[in-house]
Amino acid sequence: MSREIDIDDTDLVDRLRAGDESAFVALIERYQPRMLRLAQITVGSRAVAEEVTQDTWLAVVRGVERFEGRSSLKTWLFHILVNRARSTVGRELRAGRPEQRIDDRFDRTGGWVSPPEPWADRADDRVVAERLAARVQELLPELPTNQRQVVVLRDLEGMSADDVTSIVGITDGNQRVLLHRGRAHLRQLLSAEMGAE
What CATH code is carried by the domain that includes residue 69? 1.10.1740.10
pLDDT score, position 127: 60
What Å distances lie between residue 73 and 33, 68, 130, 156, 164, CA to CA? 15, 10, 30, 17, 13
Task: Please list the rounded mean pLDDT of every run of 10 residues in the chain (197 residues).
Answer: 54 87 89 91 86 91 87 90 85 55 55 60 57 81 89 89 90 91 88 70
Helix or strand or coil: residue 146?
A: helix
**Could you give the angle at the alpha carbon of 121 between the alpha carbons of 119 and 124, nearest 5°?**
120
Task: Report the 10 Å Cβ neighbour count for 27.
Answer: 22
The answer to whether residue 100 sits within a structural domain is: no
Task: Report the 10 Å Cβ neighbour count for 173.
Answer: 9
Task: Report the 10 Å Cβ neighbour count for 25.
Answer: 11
Same domain, 90 and 153: no
Same domain, 10 and 88: yes
The span from the CA of 140 to the CA of 15, in Å, is 36
How far is residue 128 CA from its own chain's centroid?
24
Same domain, 68 and 131: no
Same domain, 67 and 133: no
pLDDT score, position 123: 44
pLDDT score, position 56: 93
Task: Report the 10 Å Cβ neighbour count for 194.
Answer: 14
* CATH number for the domain harbouring residue 130: 1.10.10.10
Domain residue limits at 190? 120-194
The answer to whether residue 102 sits within a structural domain is: no
Same domain, 88 and 139: no
What domain count does the chain have?
Answer: 2
The answer to whether residue 52 sits within a structural domain is: yes
pLDDT score, position 70: 85
Same domain, 76 and 159: no
Same domain, 126 and 185: yes
Residues 112 and 180 sit within 8 Å (Cβ to Cβ): no
Same domain, 82 and 138: no
